[in-house]
Amino acid sequence: MQFSAPIYRLKRRARLLSRDEKIPLTSALDRIAREEGFARWSLLAAKAGENPPAREIFKRLTPGDLVLLAARPGQGKTLLGIELALEALRMEALRTEALRSGSHGAFFTLEYTGLDLLSHLEAIGIDRAAVTDRFLFDDSDAISASYIMDRLTPMRRGTVAVIDYLQLLDQKRENPPLMTQIRDLKDFAHRQGIIIAFLSQIDRTFDGSAKSCPGLADIRLPNPLDLTLFDIACFLHEGQVRIERTA
Name the more confident of 8 and 222. Answer: 222
| Residue 98 pLDDT > 50 | no
Say yes or no: 28 and 115 in one domain.
no
**Residue 1 maps to a domain:** no
pLDDT in tens, 42-88: 778 777 765 678 888 998 999 999 999 999 988 888 888 988 988 87
Domain count across the chain? 2
- Cis status, amide bond into 8, omega within 30 of 0: no
pLDDT in tens, 23-38: 888 888 889 989 988 8
Integer Cα distance of 40 and 228 in angstroms: 43
What sign for the dihedral angle of Cα 17, 139, 166, 161? negative
Say yes or no: 125 and 13 in one domain.
no
**Residue 235 maps to a domain:** yes
Say yes or no: 120 and 177 in one domain.
yes
Provide the Cα torsion 142, 233, 135, 115; round to 10°.
60
Provide the domain limits for residue 136.
53-245
Nearest residue to 185 via CA among 159, 147, 232: 147
**Residue 67 maps to a domain:** yes
What Å distances lie between residue 106 and 89, 98, 103, 119, 193, CA to CA? 10, 19, 10, 16, 14
pLDDT of amino acid 91: 67
pTM of the model: 0.80
CATH number of the domain where residue 238 is located = 3.40.50.300
Say yes or no: 125 and 26 in one domain.
no
Say yes or no: 85 and 195 in one domain.
yes
**Residue 2 maps to a domain:** no
Average pLDDT, stretch 6-30? 85
